[in-house]
Every structure is written in structure tokens, then in C-alpha cells.
A and B are shown apart, each in its own frame.
Chain A
Amino acid sequence: MPGWIRGCAMSEPRLDEAEQDGAGRWRSPAWKTWRRLRNHRLFMTGLILFGLVAVMALAAGFLAPHPPNQNNFRYRLGAPTETYLLGTDGFGRDVLSRVLYGARVSLRIGLMVVILNGILGTFIGSTAGYFRRLDNPIMRLMDGLMAFPAILLAIALAAALGASEINVVLALTAAYAPRTARIVRASVLVIREMEYVQAAVAAGAGYLRILFRHILTNSMAPLIVQLTFIFAVSVLAEAVLSFIGVGPPPPTPTWGNIIADGRNYIREAPWISLLPGIAIAVTVLGLNLLGDGLRDVLDPRMRIER
């Protein structure tokens, strides 16, 4: 784009009232967003819950009283005591330590799925939304993928590829990326018709520039909200995969496979399955609250009435 057009559009600094704080100082949009989020009670609850789990994951090595795979065969299926705060499993391993280390696996997988989903979903969705000719074939393929129950598709893919952490990530990405793509496409379709995009076209900007600079930057809000929910869903789905036995292979502690272990001893040692389930619920609840809050603040069109 020629420099003078950019100059015309951007030369006046917009110092309107909305971007100042009470004392009249100029504040960045990011600061305003953060202030609105901070006042959102449910968002902050979600942040605390998720923060708790994140601390568990980061400090697992420091918090865990035992190594996660250390066996104590003299104390198998042991009830909670002072040494084993939450009891031991069938191999005499400390349940608390395994749950703490399990947080690492869950969050690592969730984060990788979110990143891959964001990249792939943006690529597919913006291609379909921006290039009219590709729209129909791409979206029919996405419809086809979405016709399979996501969790079933993920199980089938993970089992076919072989049980490993990276394959779980790939399977979950394939299962959930079509949904992300559909959301990105929807906002690209709307933004493509905006006047500022037409202005950029008229100014002779290339399609990559228009796509990245003008369209995608303005369709970030629904994507961020969607990715928060994808994070929640992939933590749940990873637990299901691990529970069924197509997750990261043992002895890696994951919340799903700890619950699966506990299932075999539900009469003698019900405590094994209890804690990892609560950990999953806290993580997913936290992420769902974060997602709801972000949607309220970033994307008011999709707002659910409060």
C-alpha cells in the first residue's frame, strides 16, 4: 500500500474518551480489556481455578511428596496416611504425586492442541472464507469430518496412529479443528465485506496483506474464545482417551489412566479414582469460566444474557 494512504488513514491519534482512564491518562485497548475482565467475577473465578492447576503442573516436581512412578509394594492399595496423603494405587504408587504430574500431561496436551488448532483452523477457515471458489469444497470436507462424533473420531485416530502423547495431540487436533475452521470462516466472511477491507483492496494491497493485516486481526476475538473452549474440551477428551487406553502409554501418569487404574479397585480403594476426576473437573470448569468471561468481554455479539 502506498505510504500516503496509510498516512491518511492513521495519522490522527485517536485519543477519544473511551481510551482514557478516570484521570484522563491514555490507556491501551489491552489495558481496557483487562480492566473489564478483572471486574468479571466468573472470569476471575475461572482464572483462579485454572491458575491453581497450572501451578500444580509447573511445581509438580516440588509439590509432589514422592516420585510419580516410585512403587511401594508393601503398601499397595493403601488408604490415605501421613506419608501417602491420598493413598496408593495397585502398584503402591502415591496417588497425590501421580495426579500432580498428571496435570503436566493434561495441560501440555491441551496447550499443544490449542496451538495446532489455532494454526490449522485459521488457515483452513480463512482460505475457505476468503477464496470463494474453495469455500464449498473445503466446508463440505469439514462437514464430513464433523459428522463423526468428535470423541469417537479422536479415539479411532489415536488408536490407529498408536498410543503416544504426540498422536493424542494429532488425533484431538483433527477431531476439533473443523469446528475452529468453521468459526474463523464465519468471521472472515463478515469482515471481508467491511469498508476498510474494500479500501485496502482499492489501495492495491495484496491478498496476503489483506488477509493477515486487515481480516485476521479483526477476527481474533471469536477465535480466542473458541480456543479457550477447545482447551477445556481437549482436557476432557484426553482423559477419555487415556481412560480407554489409547492415551500416553503407562507408566506416564495421566488423569484418565489413573481413573482407569482405580476402576479395577473401586471396592477396595475408591480414593484412587476420586482425586484425578476432581482435578479434571476443576481444570475444565476453570477453562469454561475463562471462555465465558472472554466471550462476554471480547465478543459481545455472542453474549449469553446475564
Chain B
Amino acid sequence: MGRYLVYRLLSAIPVLLIVSLLSFLIIFLVPGDPASEIAGPGASADEVSRIRQSLGLDQHVGIRMLAWYQRLLQGDLGQSILLNRGVTTAILERAPVTLSLAGLALVLSLGLALVLGVVAAVRQNTWVDQSAMTMALLGLSLPDFWVGLVMIYLFAVLLGWFPTGGYVEMSKGVGPWLRSLIMPATALGLAQLGLLARITRATMLEVLRQDYVRTARAKGAPERHVIGRHALANTLIPVVTVIGIIVGILLGGAVVVESVFALPGVGRLIIGAILRRDYPVIQGGLLLTASIYVFVNILVDILYAWLDPRVRYE
């Protein structure tokens, strides 16, 4: 286990290097001079050169890259052009919103997906199976931002059950916090629901054919024990591995869902930065989301190796 852990951690280094390099390079994609792009068409030459200096664009690329890595090693992502504060601070201020949203979406979709997947597998090829899998497929096919809008119209505008948007901090009560997040988390969780339900079903079907399930039945264990204990535990292992991929989709989806529901999270921060060309925030935000993805996947791999010892020895 120790060797596997070290190997897995070391293998993240080249990926992180590439990720940080790509995040740095994105500014070069802007056609023309980034400084005058950021300043806008009406800006004076003075202002343009001020921005150019603050971005360090007057320096050689190599020097800028060195500075970027030097700052990264100190955990500093640079200064935002528009927000008048450090990128790290800006992201940390908004992190609780995104974490709450993504966490709730994951809990909701995983819970429902396990139920749908298990029920569909146990009742394979019946109407139960078919309707569960239709739901899963719909989850994969509906655009999340549109589902968000439809929910806002139905449950906020027409029925008035939930607020149309905005975020209430958890410190102001768990109830209001949940109320502000339940619609966005549902919209965000839809695609994950589809993916997870299908994987749960496929794995469960495979597990149900294993010898140990037959043994459990043969020794007279009640069916709910066979499914709930023997089969489900073994189904969860492959499902865990997908959570790494799911986190990537959640982070990307949060960007869009946060802007639909006017949630002040990291996603909306990055979108705002992209639309107004606040490059330090874009670079920092991209680097951070990608690093989270890399680390979650390492965690998932380690968890997988711990749950299923066969993986370690391959």
C-alpha cells in the first residue's frame, strides 16, 4: 500500500506541471495585445500601459513564467485586475458556496442513483428497469442550465416555494441554506444521476451473477440481505472510481448553474473573469479546478486500492 501511495502521488507531478503551464499559456490565445483588449476600446495609451505593467506583459515570456512558478510555490495566484484583491483570497471567499453546491448535488445524485440502479438491476427487463433507465438517460440529455430555469419558473415564480436565486450561508440556519441550494443542486446533479445510475445497474447485474451471491442465497439469507449486504457492498467499489470523473463534471457544471441561480461561488467568479478578461483570475481559477480534479482522482485511486486489494498488486 505504501509503495502504491508513493507511486500514485509521484505520477501526479507531470500532470500538475502541464496543468500549470497550460493555465499560464492561456493568455497567449488572445488575438492582438491582451492589455488593450482588457482596457477596452476607449482606453487611453496611459491606461493600457498601466495594465500591461501590472500584468507584467512588458517583460520577457521566460521571466513571466519564472515569476508565475515562483508565486505558485508560495501559494500565491497573483492579483486580480478588477476585484482589487488577491486571486487566492477571492477564490477562498467563494469556495464555501461552490463546495456546498457540489457536495449537495453529489449527495442527492448518488443517493437517488444507487436506488435507481439497484432497483433496475434487481427487476431487470421489467417496466421498473425501463423507467429507471429512461430517467437516467433523460438526466444525461437535459441541459442543466435550462432545467434550472424551468425550476425557477415553476417553483419560484409560479409557486413561490423557493427563492429565485441567491445564497444563504449555513451560519444563518441549515433550513434557509438548504432552501437556497436545493434547486441548483438538483439541476447540477441531473447528469451525474444518469451516469451513476447506469453504472450502478451494470455493476449490480454483474455482481448478482457472482458465486458469493449464489452462496448467500443458498445458505438461506433473506433476499434483502443478499442485495443490501453482499451485492451492494461489492457494487459500491466500481461506483467509487467514477466519483473522480463526476467531480470534474460537477466543477464544470457549477460554473453554469451558479450563474443561472446567481450564487456567488467560484464558478461565477471564473465566468465573470473570463467574460471581462481578468487574466490572473482565469489562470488561477483554471489551475485550481484542475488541481482539485487531479487530487480527487488520486484520493479515489487510493480509496479504490484500499477497498479492493487486487488493484495494488497490478
Instruction: Give the interface of A toward B (CB within 8 A).
Output: 140-141, 143-153, 155-157, 159-162, 232, 236, 239-240, 243-246, 259, 262-263, 266-267, 270, 273-274, 276-277, 280-281, 284-285, 288-289, 304-306
Contacts and interface: CB of A to CB of B under 8 A. Distances in A.
A288 to B, nearest CB: 6
30 contacts: A147-B19, A147-B294, A148-B286, A151-B256, A152-B289, A155-B255, A156-B274, A157-B26, A159-B277, A160-B30, A243-B145, A244-B256, A244-B271, A266-B152, A266-B153, A270-B157, A273-B146, A277-B147, A277-B150, A281-B143, A281-B146, A284-B140, A284-B142, A284-B143, A285-B141, A288-B137, A288-B141, A304-B198, A304-B202, A306-B125
Interface of B: 14-15, 17-19, 21-22, 26-27, 29-31, 124-125, 137-138, 140-143, 145-147, 149-150, 152-153, 157, 198, 201-202, 205-206, 248-249, 251-253, 255-256, 259-260, 270-271, 274-275, 277, 282, 286, 289-291, 293-294
Nearest to A274: B150
Contact of B286 (A156, A273, A304): A156
Given A149-B249, A159-B274, A288-B140, A144 B15 contact: yes
B18 A141 contact: yes
A161 B30 CA distance: 6
Contacts of B294: 147
A285 B134 CA distance: 10
A152 B270 contact: yes
Contacts of A148: 19, 22, 286, 289-290, 293
Contact of B206 (A141, A161, A289, A305): A305
Nearest to A155: B274
A246 B29 CA distance: 15
Nearest to A49: B141
A236 B143 contact: yes
A160 B251 contact: no
B252 A150 contact: yes
Given A149-B249, A153-B286, A156-B286, 7 more contacts: A145-B22, A147-B291, A244-B259, A263-B260, A281-B142, A285-B141, A304-B198
A232 B26 contact: no
Contact of B15 (A147, A153, A160, A270): A147
Contacts of A236: 143
Contacts of A143: 15, 18
B275 A273 contact: no
A140 B18 contact: yes
B270 A240 contact: no
A277 B293 contact: no
B252 A280 contact: no
- The 3 closest A-B CB pairs, nearest first, are A149-B252, A144-B18, A277-B146
A280 B145 CA distance: 11
A273 B151 CA distance: 12
Contacts of B153: 266, 270, 273
B116 to A, nearest CB: 14
Given A156-B286, A273-B146, A281-B141, A305 B205 contact: yes
A60 to B, nearest CB: 21
Interface centre among B29, B125, B205, B255 (most CB of A within 10 A): B29
Contacts of B198: 304
Interface centre among A141, A149, A151, A157 (most CB of B within 10 A): A149
Contacts of A244: 256, 259, 271, 275
Nearest to B282: A156
Nearest to B31: A162
B166 to A, nearest CB: 15
A244 B255 CA distance: 10
B142 to A, nearest CB: 5
Contacts of B145: 239-240, 243, 259
A159 B275 contact: yes
Contacts of A281: 138, 141-143, 146
Contact of B26 (A160, A263, A270, A274): A160
Contacts of A160: 26-27, 29-30
A239 B141 CA distance: 12
A197 B17 CA distance: 36
A266 to B, nearest CB: 6
A181 to B, nearest CB: 15
Contact of A149 (B140, B143, B248, B274): B248
B301 to A, nearest CB: 13
A266 B261 CA distance: 13
B19 A151 contact: no
A244 to B, nearest CB: 6
A179 to B, nearest CB: 11
B271 A155 contact: yes
Contacts of A270: 153, 157
Contacts of B157: 266-267, 270
A285 B137 contact: yes
A266 B152 CA distance: 9
A266 B294 CA distance: 39
Contacts of B274: 155-156, 159, 246
A280 B15 contact: no
Contacts of A306: 125
Contact of A277 (B143, B260, B286): B143
